Homo-oligomer: A and B are copies of this chain.
């Protein structure tokens, strides 16, 4: 007998009909002899609707209360799904985060899971019951409701797989698996059969929305086999596994992109030890996330230019912080550029294929796409380009690296 986590995303439980469909999938996995723990997101649209209500009261709505508010979405979907499973003649019940409990820290709206108690649910599933757990939510040591951040139900699912020592974690969603790229900008996108945790982590961090990055990371650290698959079509999905379990490493597995990047250049910084810290410390303190960083020394060797990228919405604050610290940083001027995109090619096989970088740059040059910045890791190359070239770039790279 296997013990499995079965997680349904918002679109998979987006209507009563879909909830009944999800209940049937649960029934099937149960009748195949598995101990099943279900994790469920809020019905699609619910969380946004709740957040919008809070925003009508305040753009800065109290975070503890926002957690109480938002967690009601999964309370609704989990009770409906448990009821639908019972209606199919199978023992089931819902658990809210506080009932299990799923203990988190008190960092409201972005809490981290500390511990999950397992006794009660283990007892229930050992007696042929199906546990339906509300995703996204936990409870703090102060006995208040917490939530795990956007896409947190994925994290709930993987953390539950970890604490309950399940054999696998199935993520049911509205696409047939992880695709080589976003099908909405390239209809030649194809399902990936197997992908390594590392590749998946890059894919999801770089814009593929199929699974939340922290969830992928947790699965990777704990070596939990994950399968992303369709709720609506009975086909194998994408298996996310350890790199060692992939026989034929693709040079390039997928292409992802993210919009709304901005670039800031600080020109003529006096080049002395600690200057990068002087630039980035005040930004970090203001929770501004720095992505790529490039530093060039000028010809005279006395000054440097520091260029970095951030999310577009942080641009105004970033400029203001840098100007406020002009004296301390000691620079000539600051320039910026927005409406930029980051396009990344990802592949664990890249490391043993020296021609990849060259091929990527050549392909983009053929399309007359200017590269504004470059960042690389062992399994990915990201380039910064203007937003209007995204589709052209993705299509070209998809073809160039044989993903069509």
Interface residues of A (CB under 8 A from B): 16, 19-20, 50, 53-54, 56-58, 61-62, 64-66, 68-69, 71-72, 75-76, 78-80, 82-84, 86-87, 93-94, 96, 98-99, 143-145
Partner of A83, one of B61, B79, B82, B87: B61
* Number of copies of this chain that the complex holds: 2
Partner of A143, one of B69, B80, B99: B99
Residues from chain B with a CB closer than 8 A to the CB of A58 are 83-84, 87
Inter-subunit contact A87/B57 (CB<8 Å): yes
CA distance A82 to B61 in the complex (A): 10
Inter-subunit contact B76/A94 (CB<8 Å): no
Instruction: Given A68-B94, A69-B79, A69-B80, check contact A53 B87 (CB 8 Å).
Output: no
Inter-subunit contact A94/B78 (CB<8 Å): no
Partner of A76, one of B69, B79, B86, B93: B69
Chain B nearest CB from A59 CB (Å) reads 10
Residues from chain B with a CB closer than 8 A to the CB of A66 are 79, 83
Partner of A68, one of B53, B78, B86: B78
CA distance A86 to B61 in the complex (A): 9
Inter-subunit contact B76/A16 (CB<8 Å): no
Inter-subunit contact B53/A65 (CB<8 Å): no
Chain B nearest CB from A177 CB (Å) reads 29
Residues from chain B with a CB closer than 8 A to the CB of A65 are 79-80, 82-83, 86, 93-94
19 contacts between A and B (CB under 8 A): A16-B57, A54-B80, A57-B83, A58-B83, A58-B84, A62-B82, A62-B86, A62-B87, A65-B86, A66-B83, A68-B75, A68-B79, A68-B96, A69-B76, A69-B80, A69-B83, A71-B75, A99-B143, A99-B144
Chain B nearest CB from A75 CB (Å) reads 4
Residues from chain B with a CB closer than 8 A to the CB of A79 are 65-66, 68-69, 72
Chain B nearest CB from A354 CB (Å) reads 56
Residues from chain B with a CB closer than 8 A to the CB of A68 are 75, 78-79, 82, 94, 96
CA distance A50 to B46 in the complex (A): 13
CA distance A6 to B65 in the complex (A): 20
Chain B nearest CB from A289 CB (Å) reads 27
CA distance A144 to B99 in the complex (A): 8
Inter-subunit contact B94/A57 (CB<8 Å): no
Inter-subunit contact A16/B94 (CB<8 Å): no
Chain B nearest CB from A60 CB (Å) reads 8
**What 9 A-B pairs come out closest when comparing CB atoms?**
A68-B79, A69-B79, A65-B83, A72-B72, A16-B56, A65-B79, A72-B75, A58-B87, A62-B86
